[in-house]
Amino acid sequence: MKQKVTYFIVIACLLFPMQVRSYETDLLPVMQSSMPPPSLEVSSWVLMNPSTGLIIAAENPDDRVEPASLSKLMTAYIVFREIRLGNITLEEQILISENAWLTGGSRMFIEPGERISVENLLLGMIVQSGNDAAVALAEHIAGSEESFAGLMNQVATELGLKNTNFVNSTGWPHPDHFSSARDVSLIAAAIVRDFPGMYRYYSIPEFTWNDITQRNRNPLLGRDEDVDGIKTGHTEGAGYCLVGSAKKDDFRMIATVIGAESARYRADAVYSLLKYGFAAYGKRHIYASGTAVVDSVEVYKGESSTVAVGVTQAVQLIVPKSSRSGIEAAVAINEPLIAPLSERQQVGNLIISITGKEVASYSLVTLSAIEEGSWFNRVLDSIRLRFR
């Protein structure tokens, strides 16, 4: 019968104030900062760390809202994915349809019958928020915007979005086209995480097409050198919306504001959330991906008598900067380990606790394969196991 053997490792000294906030968060009370987030006059907002997916603070994050042009984040995500899959290329030329040309709202000012590269259409959609560019890309990938909307909803399910339904590629108002501040933030986080090379498009300050130069609609670009994205949106029903992202060293924050009363207020609101996040929280690295957590765990009936076990993903926590009390790691191994063992075979769990409260769990795996030992070693270890 397998037994769990537990090791305890003290990792750091940190202090986590036990305070409950009125705002919503994915952080446990033990991990919350004593600094309250800013009070905002908007319908909903979210402050997120994209590398962990943690909601640091939020108000009404799951309320259904009209996402306006923030919908183009999903359109871009799908285009990026199609490029990575090899289904299209940045240089590929797209024939512009009359339907795309006739699209209303913000425009790149493409012309029907033009052939435009995927990359230029991406720039027109991302920098200029061109609805016409979004429709052209949607038609090229799925044959029609309606079919592309079906693909958007499929990807929304894959990304775990709970309060989102797309009807078009642009965010044009429709009663069945909706999302939430949390879901929009998750799409933005997916772009940052899955397509870091493509994410650079969101920091381009301006783009010219057909002799018409339009500046990036994100007013936070240039206000702060740490801000590098990401997307604005506005309709009468949605109000003024903005997803902003900034990075200090290797710590990134995403802030989403929905339903602001003005373009100026949405920018100030997002900026205040980003500044709050960096002032109140930091990222603590516990273990890097592939790092040995226990260097030597006993193995029976193998060509080697021990194996190192570790984690396959980075172990990191978002913590208040003011913290000082202890983080503990409990390593629970499903012993005895009996060869053969494959590389990256799960053999236990790493449990991270703060002041006695569990905050995260990670699989522990073998960092090398262990083949069966000789006949003599197997017999000897069988006897040893009887007397464990």
Q: DSSP states of 38-85 as a string?
A: PP--SSEEEEEETTTTEEEEEESTTS-B--GGGGHHHHHHHHHHHHHH
Which of 72, 97, 179, 180 is an active site residue?
A: 72
**33, 43, 97, 129: the active-site residue:** 129
Dist. CA 312–CA 315, nearest whole Å: 9
Asked if residue 240 lies in contact with residue 70, where contact means CB atoms within 8 angstroms, the answer is: no
Q: What 8-state DSSP symbol labels residue 4?
A: E
Q: Among the options 69, 97, 180, 185, which is catalytic?
A: 69
Residue 129 is among the residues annotated as catalytic for this protein: yes
Torsion over CA: 221, 224, 227, 232 (sign): negative
Phi, psi at 29, each rounded to 5°: -50, -35
3-class DSSP assignment, residue 131: helix
User: Does the annotation mark 72 as catalytic?
Assistant: yes
- How many Cα atoms are found within 13 Å in the side-chain-facing hemisphere of 78? 25
Active-site residue flag, 34: no
Residue written as token pair 């075979």? 345
Q: Are 319 and 30 in contact (CB under 8 A)?
A: no
- Residues labelled as active-site residues: 69, 72, 129
